[in-house]
């Protein structure tokens, strides 16, 4: 009996793989061309002293670039800033996205309009968003004006992006605002997949809204939440555009990130070999972090 069951599962898997193959192939080719090949090329360059524009041909330098990285204080500072950003932005953005998804999932008039409004920042280019928020954070900008108004003039306008203790939180706020619409849509899709009968049964049993949220909504959204957390973490580690445009890593490197460090080394200082070694290590750090998340946040898969 067990042997027949195993055979049946094997047939299902083989049939599923054949059906999935045409859908997987285009994405696999793009990943191979634009991700895997560049990564191995960067891995090769990391063992050379290649410069961006130089008449001197590159030569093999072994692990020199990796040894140099150990004494690179800027890389350490940038890495800490990246982890700080991830630790704050990922949980806040995930919770806020779930909250918005629950709100716009209500069967009320105008919910489609609210979904569009919340999603608009996501489809706006980060460059445009960063420029607009730079004006908002200006000493004579809207945010200082609002703070001054609600404190009855006690708030002294400051340049938020040039204040060391505020600059990075200001960028975090912008990033959460810009990205939350994307996660909201994913949560919304997950919410609409939850059978209404579960809530009806819970209501009959006397469960209030909070208990329904804890014992029905959250467990049913487990796989969706895992996807949102992992994808948000990866996007948070890639922090570059807003930092480059709004602060260029300042003041006093308080908003300096690894991506910005790689850009500066590769394009401004033309140390392509060293920038490649930074890229390889940073990729491995993100990969390791994502794998750890996958271990602790194990998905529930449907069993045929």
Predicted local distance difference test score (pLDDT) of residue 2: 62
The pTM score is: 0.86
For residues 178 and 120, the answer to whether their CB atoms sit within 8 Å is no
Kindly report the backbone phi and psi dihedral angles of residue 105, in degrees, each rounded to the nearest multiple of 5, phi listed first: -85, -10
Burial of 47 (0-12, 13-18, 19+ CB in 10 A): buried
Compute the distance between CA of residue 256 and CA of residue 259 in angstroms, rounded to an integer: 9
Angstrom CA distances, 20 to 23, 29, 74, 188, 276, stand at: 5, 15, 45, 25, 35
Mean pLDDT, residues 229-254 taken together: 91
CB 147: neighbour CB atoms within 10 A?
15
Domains and CATH numbers, the chain: 74-297 (1.10.3720.10)
Find out whether 274 and 265 touch, Cβ atoms under 8 Å: yes
- Residues found in the chain: 304
Do 263 and 52 form a contact (C-beta atoms < 8 A)?
no
From 124-128, 218-222, 295-299, the region with the lowest mean pLDDT: 295-299
Dist. CA 287–CA 67, nearest whole Å? 21
* 167-219 confidence digits (pLDDT tens): 999 999 999 999 999 999 999 999 998 998 999 999 998 889 899 999 999 99
Q: Under a CB-based contact definition with an 8 Å cutoff, are residues 208 and 199 in contact?
A: no
Q: Is 48 helix (H, G, I), strand (E, B) or coil?
A: strand
* pLDDT at residue 141 greater than cutoff 70: yes
- Contact at 8 Å (CB) between 72 and 274? no
Instruction: Look at residues 226, 122, 129, 228 and name the one whose alpha carbon lies nearest to residue 183.
Output: 228
pLDDT top residue among 88 and 303? 88
The candidate with the shortest Cα–Cα distance to 98, out of 185, 21, 5, 14, is 185
CA gap 50, 56 in Å, rounded: 9
Report how far residue 13's alpha carbon sits from residue 250's, in angstroms, rounded to the nearest whole number.
Answer: 53
Residue 304, pLDDT > 70, answer no
When pLDDT is averaged across residues 39-43 and rounded to a whole number, the result is: 92
| Angle of CA points 149, 155, 160, to nearest 5° | 105
60 forms beta bridges with 48
What are residue 48's DSSP bridge partners? 60
């Amino acid at each position: 009996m067990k042997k027949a069951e195993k055979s049946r599962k094997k047939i299902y898997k083989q049939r599923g793989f054949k059906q999935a193959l045409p859908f997987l192939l285009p994405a696999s080719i793009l990943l191979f061309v634009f991700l895997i090949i560049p990564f191995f090329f960067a891995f090769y360059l990391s063992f050379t002293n290649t410069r961006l524009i130089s008449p001197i041909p590159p030569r093999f330098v072994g692990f020199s670039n990796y040894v140099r990285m150990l004494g690179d204080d800027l890389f350490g500072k940038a890495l800490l800033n990246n982890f700080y950003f991830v630790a704050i932005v990922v949980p806040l953005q995930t919770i806020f996205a779930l909250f918005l998804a629950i709100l716009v999932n209500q069967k009320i008039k105008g919910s489609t309009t609210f979904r569009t409004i919340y999603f608009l920042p996501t489809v706006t280019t980060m460059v445009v968003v960063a420029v607009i928020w730079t004006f908002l954070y200006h000493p004579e900008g809207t945010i200082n004006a609002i703070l001054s108004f609600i404190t009855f003039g006690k708030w002294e306008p400051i340049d938020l992006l040039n204040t060391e203790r505020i600059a990075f939180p200001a960028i975090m706020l912008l990033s959460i605002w810009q990205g939350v619409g994307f996660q909201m849509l994913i949560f919304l899709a997950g919410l609409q997949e939850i059978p209404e009968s579960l809530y009806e049964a819970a209501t009959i049993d006397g469960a209030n809204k909070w208990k329904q949220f804890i014992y029905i909504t959250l467990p049913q959204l487990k796989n969706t939440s895992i996807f949102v957390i992992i994808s948000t973490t990866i996007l948070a580690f890639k922090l570059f555009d807003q930092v480059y445009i709004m602060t260029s890593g300042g003041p006093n490197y308080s908003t300096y990130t690894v991506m910005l460090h790689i850009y500066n080394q590769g394009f401004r200082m033309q140390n392509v070999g060293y920038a490649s070694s930074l890229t390889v290590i940073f990729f491995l750090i993100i990969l390791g972090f994502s794998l750890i998340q996958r271990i602790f946040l194990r998905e529930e898969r449907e069993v045929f």
